[in-house]
Chains A and B, each alone.
Chain A
């Protein structure tokens, strides 16, 4: 907690940054942002510079406009995904391993090209739209089970009842993990979520080690006896021409854990909250379910929720501001997708809207799991609208939110029926 308290103090503004591009915004604790995140995003678009420096959390850049995000996301040379340059980071983690045991690497999310591509390549077929589409019925069965368990109750806290369990169940099934790991993974996800909402990386390495630990037995079993699951598939692929190792498999498992669980959960939470507040939209989708896939896209755009960090790799001018090597820059995708310079009437959920959002980021780091996320969201909305009558927010228990690198819903109390 001490770290959190001190980190909120503003840091001195570096001399090369003029006051005109400084705006005070704490991406972890801004009160208006925590009260209703995307309302504050719109406020930032109206009142903050399109690229600004905030002195909070040690000081960093915020890329708010669509143009800034689109350019930076595709420029991996200037905006590095490596927290530290690769060799420095490897040396540091190897040194840590002597004290704490091996630290799993979430490759390729934290690598730049060309290494990024080498580690991403083996995952692409596994997460391609065609492979993911074969899983639809399994995912639907899981969604139906969760929804049926609450349908008769007249209401529920939707995050803990549905939005959180669904991606965890899908994850365990896809990886081929035993079902009895479910409580352990729910607890790991919870710890990850709580940590996400705080700046700083305290305890992050230990959490990654626990995630790897929890899948170690299954990974070893599949090495000798393959099944129809992702762990088995990854034992069969090559990385840059060499066979995968136990360490590679643990790395990939950790990557899929940190990239694929809380994100889907928050996408569901933000979308369902919008539906709960908009009975007319619910009715329109119930009347014509073929519109649901369009709603899925529009809700992703309207409530884009990830804020991937980058490291400025060299001194440069970027969209009118001077940046220096080593500074941190946040790709504020919620801003990009609500930018009125890019989307007409951006706050309106318009099922006829054309043009593409970048909720899954742009450039080579485009979310690997985007096709899975879309399928999960789509199926969840379809079954939700089929299995529950018109639902609304519980007037006595308003939703609460969390912010940070993933913006999401903490609690979402819904009620339905009389």
Chain B
């Protein structure tokens, strides 16, 4: 499972980060600091919840 984020469209709500600081790191301004990553095994639910928490809907879950 993969997460892809439209980083340029992030407006800094940081709701994904509130779900998982580890999966969704922020830069010093509080905006998302990662564009794409493989979800580690066992963290799939957390990743999905982080994606759903985004008010801007810029986090895409790509299921295997």
Contact = CB atoms under 8 A, between A and B. Distances in A.
A249 to B, nearest CB: 20
Nearest to B48: A354
Secondary structure at the B interface, as helix, strand, loop or mixed, is: loop
A354 B30 contact: no
Interface in B50-64: 52-57
Interface string B23-64: 000101111000000000000000001001111110000000
B52 A355 contact: yes
A129 interface: yes
A356 B30 contact: no
Contacts of A364: 11
Interface residues of A, number: 20
A121 interface: yes
B29 A128 contact: yes
Contact of B49 (A127, A129, A354): A354
A363 interface: yes
Secondary structure at the A interface, as helix, strand, loop or mixed, is: loop
A371 B15 contact: no
B14 interface: yes
Contacts of B53: 354, 356
A371 B17 CA distance: 12
* Residue in B12, B14, B53 with the greatest tally of chain A CB atoms within 10 Å: B12
Interface of A: 74, 121, 124-125, 127-130, 354-358, 360, 362-364, 366, 370-371
21 contacts: A74-B56, A124-B12, A124-B30, A125-B28, A125-B29, A128-B26, A128-B29, A128-B30, A130-B26, A130-B28, A354-B52, A355-B52, A356-B52, A356-B53, A356-B55, A356-B57, A360-B13, A362-B55, A362-B56, A366-B12, A366-B13
